[in-house]
C-alpha cells in the first residue's frame, strides 16, 4: 500500500509518500496525491517529516531514511551520486556525469535531476551549471537558491 502525508514546512506545503516501508516521493508541489496513494500518516512519514523539519531548521545535514526512488538504472545511478554531495557543497552536471561513468551525459544527468522523485533528501538542488549558475529546479530556481543559502548559512 502507498501512503502519503502532507506537511507545512519552511519550504511550503510538501507531500511525502511511502510504499512498503520506503520513502518513494517528496514533492515540493503537494497539490495532488501520487497515483494509488492513500492520505494517511505512518510512523515512517512522521519520521521523514521530522527530519525535513530539522533540515530546514539547520539542525540536520544528513537524512537517515530508507529510500526507494522509482526510475531507470541510469536515473538511479545519478540519484545515488547526488547523495554523495556533502551538505553545503555543489557539483556540476558534468561532475555528476563523470561520477556515473559517462562524462558526456550532462544533459541526461539534467533530465535525471528533473525526474528526481525524492526532492531535498536526494539533493538535486546541489547540482549547478559548470559556470556556477543556478539552473532549473523542480521546485523553481528561487527554491533552489533558498536551499543552497540555507545549507551555506548552517554550514558555518
Which pLDDT tens digit goes with each residue over 96-129? Answer: 999 999 999 999 999 999 999 999 999 999 999 8
Is the pLDDT score of 156 beyond 60? no
Residue tagged active-site, from 11, 17, 81, 124: 124
Is the pLDDT score of 11 beyond 90? no
This prediction has a pTM of 0.92
pLDDT at 154: 65
Which of 70, 67, 15 lies closest to 40 in space, CA to CA?
15
Report d(CA 39, CA 20) in Å as an integer.
15
Any catalytic annotation for residue 124?
yes
Amino acid at each position: 500500500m502507498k501512503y502519503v502525508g502532507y506537511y507545512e514546512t519552511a519550504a511550503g506545503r510538501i507531500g511525502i509518500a511511502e510504499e512498503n516501508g520506503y520513502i518513494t516521493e517528496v514533492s515540493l508541489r503537494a497539490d495532488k496525491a501520487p497515483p494509488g496513494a492513500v492520505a494517511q500518516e505512518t510512523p515512517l512519514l512522521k519520521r521523514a517529516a521530522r527530519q525535513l523539519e530539522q533540515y530546514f531548521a539547520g539542525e540536520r545535514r544528513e537524512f537517515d531514511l530508507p529510500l526507494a526512488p522509482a526510475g531507470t538504472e541510469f536515473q538511479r545511478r545519478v540519484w545515488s551520486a547526488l547523495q554523495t554531495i556533502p551538505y553545503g557543497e555543489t557539483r556540476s552536471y558534468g561532475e555528476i556525469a563523470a561520477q556515473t561513468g559517462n562524462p558526456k551525459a550532462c544533459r541526461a544527468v539534467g533530465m535525471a535531476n528533473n525526474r528526481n522523485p525524492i526532492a531535498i533528501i536526494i539533493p538535486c538542488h546541489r547540482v549547478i551549471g559548470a559556470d556556477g549558475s543556478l539552473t532549473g529546479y523542480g521546485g523553481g530556481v528561487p527554491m533552489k537558491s533558498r536551499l543552497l543559502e540555507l545549507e551555506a548559512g548552517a554550514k558555518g
